[in-house]
């Protein structure tokens, strides 16, 4: 029997390897076919252009017949016109991030006829992206996001030139990538990369359209516009001017942790495309007529939009002022460390090994419904510290929901009490958990095993461990580990 199982395992491994190899070959074939199609399309466009030249060898009309039909509805808008369309066709725009912001931004810029569109992203498409990252499709899960996006964009509009950068942006490579573009769109989701993009754009004299989105809210800014040289106070502010100091690393919430509504991030991405078109089609800008501003969007507020006027460049800005300390040399040399500048998010409290238990160990220690004499053994106390909206999606049977936000707010208020006084137990603790006579163990669980560690520390500060007489620990790896070790059908969200 054991040999048969090994044979089955070996065959499964061979099948998986063969399928992976086949997927790689299909991807290479797809890229080769797309390249051949692009070359053919370019040759056809050149032939069509040659056929429509006048007798003196020059084209009678600046756009192709198909372009007049394609862009006609926007060219008749007074703010755009023919010259605006020609500006779009000659423009080179770089989008950093092919996710929730970058997809709608790229979609509308490609549709508008931007001549060259570069996309930077080192991630691959995941199922969790598809509800908001509208350029990607289910069949492209596992493919590089830039390749998935360009595949869709080429179907939408074959005229632009699409340039993929299949890697995350680094300080050493950013200047060489940015220098070939006229305008930059920051469609990323972390502070370190935002500072890097802004610094590079300022040092190379590129306008920057920056946006962010989380849960039901978003922000939008047009930075370094007008793009004046470093030290010129008449130039637009940069990201460091608006946010001289990054937020505390532990306060930064990602979409994976905080959640995001697709239309919210879509709205911000579309607004980025709109601002980009305005910059491209109105190259001469009067800074006094267009003061820099921060647009704030809140989907559940009335009205949903409000604007805050931004100050001009800071006199002591590390990048765009006369006292600048960040230069292209410091970028390329790596001496400007953005990860260090923004800090590294770490656990507020790291538990000892004996304060942690894996899902498998928990199940062995507390088997489900095992007879104990004439009755079933008592279920262990499991406190789930996810917020209620996550607890309602899925939860362990008989677990108690006490959100981490509730625990932390209670713990912070108790610290203001007399240091010599015994900490009073908060009202949100169930009576059987707070009972002074109980020594039943308490296991704390969260989504990934981070908040649960913080919660264990706070619960011990409240004295629930009875000075070590009662076990209070966390389930290591959280509910993700529970899915991997105990229940493969557990919802992965």
As annotated, the binding site for ATP includes 100, 121, 128-132, 145, 189-190
Residues ≥6 apart with Cβ < 8 Å to 28 = none
How many Cα neighbours within 13 Å face the side chain of 129? 26
What is the distance between the alpha carbons of residues 454 and 383, in angstroms, rounded to a whole number? 13
Residues ≥6 apart with Cβ < 8 Å to 483 = 490, 492
255 is catalytic: yes
Catalytic one among 103, 187, 255, 342? 255
Instruction: Determine how many CB atoms are found less than 10 A away from the CB of residue 20.
Output: 11
Catalytic one among 103, 187, 342, 446? 446
Do 133 and 126 form a contact (C-beta atoms < 8 A)? no
Residues ≥6 apart with Cβ < 8 Å to 60 = 52, 53, 54
Residues ≥6 apart with Cβ < 8 Å to 87 = 280, 281, 283
CA-closest candidate to residue 178, choices 157, 158, 189, 163 = 163
Token pair listed for 464: 């629930």
What is the distance between the alpha carbons of residues 413 and 425, in angstroms, rounded to a whole number? 12
Token pair listed for 421: 């006084």
Sign, Cα dihedral of 425, 428, 434, 440: negative
The position carrying tokens 């190899």 is 21
Measured in degrees and rounded to the nearest 5, phi and psi for residue 211 equal -145, 160
Known binding residues for Zn(2+): 238, 241, 317, 320
Token pair listed for 357: 């238990």
187 is catalytic: no
What is the distance between the alpha carbons of residues 98 and 107, in angstroms, rounded to a whole number? 11
Known binding residues: 100, 121, 128-132, 145, 189-190, 238, 241, 317, 320
Beta strands in 34-138, from DSSP E residues, in sequence order: 92-96, 116-120
Q: Quick one: three-class SS letters along 260-316? A: ECHHHHHHHHHHHHHHHHHHHHCCCCCCCCCCCEEEEEECCCCCCEEEEECCCCCCC
Query: CA-CA-CA-CA torsion for 175, 176, 182, 183, nearest 10 degrees?
Result: -50
Do 314 and 202 form a contact (C-beta atoms < 8 A)? no
Token pair listed for 47: 């032939």
Element (H, E) at 294: strand 293-298
The position carrying tokens 């006369």 is 322
Token pair listed for 303: 């009205």
Do 230 and 202 form a contact (C-beta atoms < 8 A)? yes
Residues belonging to the active site: 255, 446
């Amino acid at each position: 029997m054991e040999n048969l199982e090994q044979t089955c395992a070996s065959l499964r491994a061979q099948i998986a390897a063969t399928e992976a190899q086949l997927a790689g070959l299909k991807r290479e074939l797809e890229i080769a076919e797309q390249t051949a199609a692009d070359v053919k399309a370019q040759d056809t466009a050149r032939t069509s252009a040659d056929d429509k030249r006048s007798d003196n060898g020059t084209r009678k009309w600046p756009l192709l017949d198909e372009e007049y039909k394609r862009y006609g509805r926007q060219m008749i808008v007074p703010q755009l016109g023919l010259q605006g369309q020609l500006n779009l066709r000659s423009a080179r725009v770089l989008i950093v991030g092919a996710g929730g912001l970058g997809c709608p931004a790229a979609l509308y810029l490609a549709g508008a006829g931007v001549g060259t569109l570069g996309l930077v992203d080192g991630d691959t498409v995941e199922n969790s992206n598809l509800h908001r990252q509208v350029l990607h499709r289910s069949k492209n899960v596992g493919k590089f996001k830039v390749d998935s996006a360009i595949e869709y964009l080429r179907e939408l509009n074959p005229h632009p030139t699409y340039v993929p950068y299949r890697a995350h942006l680094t300080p050493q490579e950013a200047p060489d990538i940015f220098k070939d573009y006229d305008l930059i769109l920051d469609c990323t989701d972390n502070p370190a990369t935002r500072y890097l993009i802004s610094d590079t754009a300022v040092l190379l004299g590129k306008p920057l359209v920056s946006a962010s989105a989380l849960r039901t809210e978003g922000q939008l800014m047009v930075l370094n516009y007008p793009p004046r040289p470093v030290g010129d106070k008449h130039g637009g502010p940069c990201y460091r001017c608006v946010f001289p100091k990054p937020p505390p690393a532990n306060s930064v919430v990602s979409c994976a942790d905080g959640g995001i509504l697709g239309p919210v991030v879509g709205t911000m991405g579309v607004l980025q495309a709109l601002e980009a078109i305005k910059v491209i089609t109105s190259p001469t800008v009067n800074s006094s007529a267009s003061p820099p501003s921060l647009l704030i969007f809140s989907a559940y507020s009335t009205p949903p939009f409000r604007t805050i006027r931004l100050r001009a460049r800071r006199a002591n800005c590390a990048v765009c002022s006369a006292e600048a300390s960040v230069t292209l040399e410091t970028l390329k040399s790596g001496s400007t460390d953005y990860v260090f500048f923004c800090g590294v998010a770490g656990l507020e409290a790291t538990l000892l090994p004996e304060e942690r238990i894996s899902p498998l160990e928990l199940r062995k220690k507390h088997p489900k419904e095992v007879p104990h004499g004439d009755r079933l053994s008592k279920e262990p106390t499991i406190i789930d510290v996810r917020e209620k909206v996550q607890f309602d999606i899925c939860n362990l049977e008989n677990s108690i929901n006490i959100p981490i936000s509730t625990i932390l707010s209670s713990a912070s208020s108790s610290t203001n009490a007399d240091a010599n006084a015994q900490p009073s137990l908060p009202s949100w603790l169930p009576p059987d958990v707070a009972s002074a006579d109980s020594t039943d163990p308490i296991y704390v669980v969260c989504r990934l095993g981070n908040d649960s560690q913080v919660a264990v520390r706070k619960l011990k500060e409240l004295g629930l461990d009875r000075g070590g007489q009662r076990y209070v620990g966390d389930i290591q790896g959280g509910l993700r580990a529970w899915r991997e070790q105990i229940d493969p059908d557990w919802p992965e969200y």
